Amino acid sequence: MIKKPKINKSGKVARVDPRGIVRGEKTRVKTARYRKSSSTRWLQRQLNDPYVAAAKRDGYRSRAAYKLLELDDRFSFLHGVHTVVDLGAAPGGWTQVARQQCAGDVSIIGIDLLEVAPIPGATFLEMDFTTDEAEKALLDLIDGPIDLVMSDMAAATTGHQNTDYIRTLGLVELAFDFAKKTLAKNGTFVAKVFSGGTDTALLKDIRANFTKVRHFKPPASRSESKETYLVAQRFKKSS
Q: pTM (2 decimals)?
A: 0.82
Question: Looking at the structure, do residues 80 and 155 belong to the same domain, yes or no?
Answer: yes
Is residue 12 included in any domain, yes or no?
no
CA distance readout (Å), 216 to 5, 70, 71, 219, 230? 29, 10, 8, 9, 7
Question: Looking at the structure, do residues 145 and 218 belong to the same domain, yes or no?
Answer: yes
Question: Looking at the structure, do residues 42 and 121 belong to the same domain, yes or no?
Answer: no
Is residue 14 included in any domain, yes or no?
no
Report strand pairing: 107-112 vs 122-126: parallel
Question: Looking at the structure, do residues 31 and 79 belong to the same domain, yes or no?
Answer: no
- Return the pLDDT at 110: 98
Beta bridge partners of 214: 231
Give the structural domain span for 29. 21-58
Question: Looking at the structure, do residues 51 and 125 belong to the same domain, yes or no?
Answer: no
Question: Looking at the structure, do residues 115 and 69 belong to the same domain, yes or no?
Answer: yes
Q: What are phi and psi of 20, to 5 degrees?
A: 80, 20
Is residue 152 included in any domain, yes or no?
yes
Q: Show the low-confidence residues of the chain (pLDDT under 50).
A: 1-16, 27, 29, 32, 35, 38-44, 46-47
Q: Select from 12, 32, 58 the last residue of a domain.
A: 58
Q: Closest Cα partner for 154 from 227, 92, 216, 85?
A: 227
Is residue 16 included in any domain, yes or no?
no
Question: Looking at the structure, do residues 40 and 69 belong to the same domain, yes or no?
Answer: no
Is residue 7 included in any domain, yes or no?
no
Is residue 153 included in any domain, yes or no?
yes
CA distance readout (Å), 166 to 89, 113, 128, 208? 21, 20, 18, 22
Is residue 52 included in any domain, yes or no?
yes
Question: Looking at the structure, do residues 191 and 160 belong to the same domain, yes or no?
Answer: yes
Question: Looking at the structure, do residues 204 and 226 belong to the same domain, yes or no?
Answer: yes
Residue range 118-135, pLDDT digits in tens: 999 999 999 999 999 999
Is residue 37 included in any domain, yes or no?
yes
Catalytic residue positions, numbered: 192
Question: Looking at the structure, do residues 51 and 161 belong to the same domain, yes or no?
Answer: no
Question: Looking at the structure, do residues 51 and 150 belong to the same domain, yes or no?
Answer: no
Give the helix, strand, coil percentages of the chain, each rounded to 5. 35, 25, 45
For residue 108, the SS3 value is strand
Our count of domains for the chain comes to 2
DSSP code, position 169 = H
Q: What is the CATH number of the domain that holds 95?
A: 3.40.50.150
Q: Are 71 and 231 in contact (CB under 8 A)?
A: yes
Question: Looking at the structure, do residues 212 and 136 belong to the same domain, yes or no?
Answer: yes
